[in-house]
Amino acid sequence: MNFGKDFLWGVATASYQIEGATDVDGKQETVWDDFCLQSRKSIDHFGGTVACDHYHRYKEDVELMKNLGVQVYRFSTAMSRVLTYDNSYGNTGVKPAVNQKGLDFYDRLIDCVLEADIDPWMTLYHWDLPLELERMGGFRNREIMYWLADYADLMTRHFGDRVKHFMTLNEMPCILGGYQGWMAPGLTINLREYLNIIHNMLLCHGNMTKVIRANVQDSKIGFAHCGLAPFPASEKPEDIAAFNRAMDCLESAPADYAPQEGSGLFFGSSLQYYCDPIYKGEYPAKAFEIFKDKMPLIKDGDMELISEELDFHGQNVYQGCPIAAGSADGKSSEGFHNIPFGQGKDITAAKWPITPKSLNYFIEYIYNRYKKPVYITENGCSGADLVCLDGKVHDEYRIDFTQRYLEELSKAKEKGADIRGYFHWSLLDNFEWKSGYNERFGIVHVDYQTQKRTPKESYYWYKDLIAQNRK
Ligand code: BGC
């Protein structure tokens, strides 16, 4: 498994999941504070209030990355730290004030990362929308494209001298999850509104891209996408062909992942509903046939804005499903079907099936379809890790998981897909959204009572792997 010297190795985190300090230095509430503290919809009702206290302990965390040997660090910034909103907009629109103390924190963090000889890759939006903006309609309001672009403007003017890699939105299908009940803000809406929200998210992405490009001419811009990452059920040519047909088909999301009307399409294997507008400047024609008058209102100039040129594609990959030839259940007329996992399948603590091949065919497909350099912007697994009597965290299963996935990724690279880097999710155990602190995704264990960090065995394994590949 050799990815070559130019391949970038990194780790990824997100602001709300690690920073804590949710009410210090002028930071305002986000939809997640509301979802956890008021609505009590996460297992841990304090949400990210303390989390890993990264706000105060970032130096120790950067030191951990430095010792690990990563070249790149993907992190996100909290809009609610750098901008403050009052609730008296009236008809004057949203005019936030800049919170200097929030900018100061990211100055300290970024300078520290650079001093460690690590390149900071900034994600501008990883789900922590200021609550005041949700009160104004959040992603249901088309105006959000201006709110997020103003924030991108502030961040790129301020940090663009030191940060060159930017990602606009993290995982649009999961932002949509906030309107399917299982993520903040925890609302449920109908299909027409889903489609409208997706259009608004795409407009946010386009408008942010435009602003970043104008402010930082030598920037590299992308976004981090997600979704089930299917793979052929076997190496037989007919299954590989069936997989490709499934990927081409807008309705290929398996029914198990479609608990609500339309949601399977968006959370499932439908790459193209989100990505065709971005890379090709149009929604897939089939979408108009399926959704008819429920499709969003597309105004003049929307598609041009959405398809602002990008430099790379970021894909977060955790799991997928096997696709085989033939339509076994009679549900599909396209000559493919997904094979349900049997009982006792291999799973992670999140109960997600372990499907290493998701990093092979699916990534190759993305590259072939859009021809953009691909970075795996997240991949990893959760477990119930503990510090053992010998003081170590024996997470061999995570080493095994990562090795299996990376071996498949290397195959896609060998086949010619332009894959340029891998960010492990995550550096630290952290606040895992609805599942609270019960799932540990880190390669560094965090004792939430003492905030002690203990590198797990996977940390040392990843360190060796990076060192070998950089030789
Ligand atoms: C998200 C992370 C999350 C991870 C594991 C991704 O969907 O971007 O924030 O912690 O998956 O659930």
Per-residue pLDDT of the chain (471 residues; tens, 9 = 90+): 889 999 999 999 999 999 999 999 999 999 999 999 988 888 888 899 999 999 999 999 999 999 999 999 999 999 999 999 986 665 556 789 999 999 999 999 999 999 999 999 999 999 999 999 999 999 999 999 999 999 999 999 999 999 999 999 999 988 988 988 889 999 988 888 989 999 999 999 999 999 999 999 999 999 999 988 989 999 999 999 999 888 887 764 443 333 333 334 443 447 888 999 999 999 988 888 888 899 999 999 999 999 999 999 999 999 988 988 987 655 555 688 878 888 898 999 888 999 999 999 999 999 999 999 999 999 999 999 999 999 999 999 999 999 999 999 999 999 999 999 999 999 999 999 999 998 999 999 999 999 999 999 999 999 999 999 998
- In this structure, the number of other CB atoms found within 10 A of the CB of residue 217 comes to 8
- In this structure, the number of other CB atoms found within 10 A of the CB of residue 80 comes to 29
Using most ligand atoms within 8 A of CB, pick from 267, 316, 429, 431 the residue to mutate for ligand 1. Answer: 316
Q: Choosing from 132, 378, 408, 439, which is the catalytic residue?
A: 378
User: Is 29 among the catalytic positions?
Assistant: no
Given a contact cutoff of 8 angstroms between Cβ atoms, the answer to whether 428 and 52 are in contact is yes
- The label of the residue with tokens 């108009």 reads 288
User: Is 235 among the catalytic positions?
Assistant: no
Lining ligand 1 with CB less than 6 A are 14, 17, 170-171, 174, 226, 316, 378, 425, 432, 441
- Cα separation of 124 and 201, whole Å? 13
Which pLDDT value is given to residue 182? 86
How far does the centroid of ligand 1 lie from the alpha carbon of residue 182, in Å?
A: 13
* Nearest ligand 1 atom to alpha carbon 380: 5
Using most ligand atoms within 8 A of CB, pick from 13, 76, 348, 378 the residue to mutate for ligand 1. Answer: 378
* Nearest ligand 1 atom to alpha carbon 425: 4
User: CB neighbours of 197 closer than 8 A, spacing ≥ 6?
Assistant: 139, 140, 175, 176, 179, 189
How far does the centroid of ligand 1 lie from the alpha carbon of residue 441, in Å?
A: 9
Gyration radius from the chain CA atoms: 21
Nearest CA to ligand 1 atom 12: 432
- Cα separation of 142 and 218, whole Å? 29
CA-wise closest residue to 428 among 66, 108, 12: 12
Q: Strand locations in 30-113, DSSP E? A: 72-76, 83-84, 97-98
Question: How, if at all, do strands 444-447 and 452-455 pair?
Answer: antiparallel
Nearest CA to ligand 1 atom 5: 432
Which pLDDT value is given to residue 259? 37
pLDDT tens per residue, range 438-448: 899 999 999 99
Q: Give the global pTM.
A: 0.96
Nearest CA to ligand 1 atom 10: 432
Which pLDDT value is given to residue 257? 39
